[in-house]
Amino acid sequence: MIKNRLNKKDAKVRNVETWHAASLLRSIIVMSVAFLFYSCDSERFSGKKPVAEAGGQYLYKEDLENIFFTEMSKEDSLTVIKNYIRTWVTDALIYEKAQENVKNEEEIASLLEKYRRSLLTYEYQLQLVKDRLNNTLSPEEIKSYYRNNPQLFQLKEILVKGLFLKIPNQAPDVDVLRLLLNNSEDKNLDQIESLSIKNAAKFEYFNKEWHPLLEIQRKSPIRVENKENLKQRSFYESQDSLSTYFLYVQEYMPEGELQPLDYAESQIRGILLEQRKNNFLKQFGDKLYEEAVMEGKVKIYEQN
């Protein structure tokens, strides 16, 4: 035990020494590269130390500080610096060539201005929505939309409630879990969960929430070949070279049926909030327009 403590202490000391060494190495490398490229004309760079110049642009020491990691070796650090500077120089040279050869600068400037306006408008609308829009939806609003738009909520996949289990093939309690799941009852749930933890199994219990069957099939080799044979309180098992997979289906809903309200609720919330946002922004724009016209801030010229 004492030896283990000493080993841990030595490891901590080595980690601290490694961290300090890496930090010192980083500083040395940055200063070395800066020294290679640094111009004596310090006033020209306002105190900043350039490490590279290309196409009339400068790369400074400060730009390199965030590209290091303390666990880097000396060789890795030098490689990172070299690749970073090469990439930066290449980009700067390409940009210089583009400035010399691209002739439609006015078109590009116009596109940039349009993008700038769109971005500013979008950010402002986001802020308006965040500050002024009420995002609270009542249960009555959600139920009303659900009842009035059943065509939007037809199931396109099978939903299930139940239990999913993934357990290593070598786990000692595979057979016990298989037996418990084949005779699944609420009283067995605690034992199933306990054995899952003991055997490092992945345990998902979703008897209160609907899950797409396809979602379970994506993370396991379990396949329900004939969907018509899917039954309530049914058990499915599959296996690969590493794990055994169990699925207990407590309830299911087939394709084509109306989605349960609790499953469709998040989709309904998204639809209603998007509608509310669009209405709010339209009303805000209409009000802004009317106020500007009344105050004489807008002039509409007759079209010939």
pLDDT reported for residue 99: 86
Which residue in 158, 154, 173 sits closest to 222, CA to CA? 158
pLDDT reported for residue 128: 94
Q: Contact, 79 vs 73, CB < 8 A? A: no
**Residue 9 forms part of a structural domain:** yes
Does the predicted TM-score (pTM) go above 0.85? Answer: no
pLDDT reported for residue 227: 64
Instruction: Give the Cα-Cα-Cα angle 33, 93, 51 (nearest 5 degrees).
Output: 15
**Residue 120 forms part of a structural domain:** no
Q: Which residues of the chain have pLDDT under 70?
A: 1-47, 68-72, 184-186, 225-229
Domain count, the chain: 3
One domain for residues 240 and 302? no
**Residue 159 forms part of a structural domain:** yes
One domain for residues 185 and 144? no
Which residue in 224, 108, 89 sits closest to 162, CA to CA? 224
Structural domain span for residue 278 = 133-154+263-304
Tens digit of each residue's pLDDT (9 = 90 or more) over 240-272: 999 999 999 989 998 899 999 999 999 999 999
One domain for residues 286 and 137? yes
Which residue in 255, 233, 130, 119 sits closest to 186, CA to CA? 233
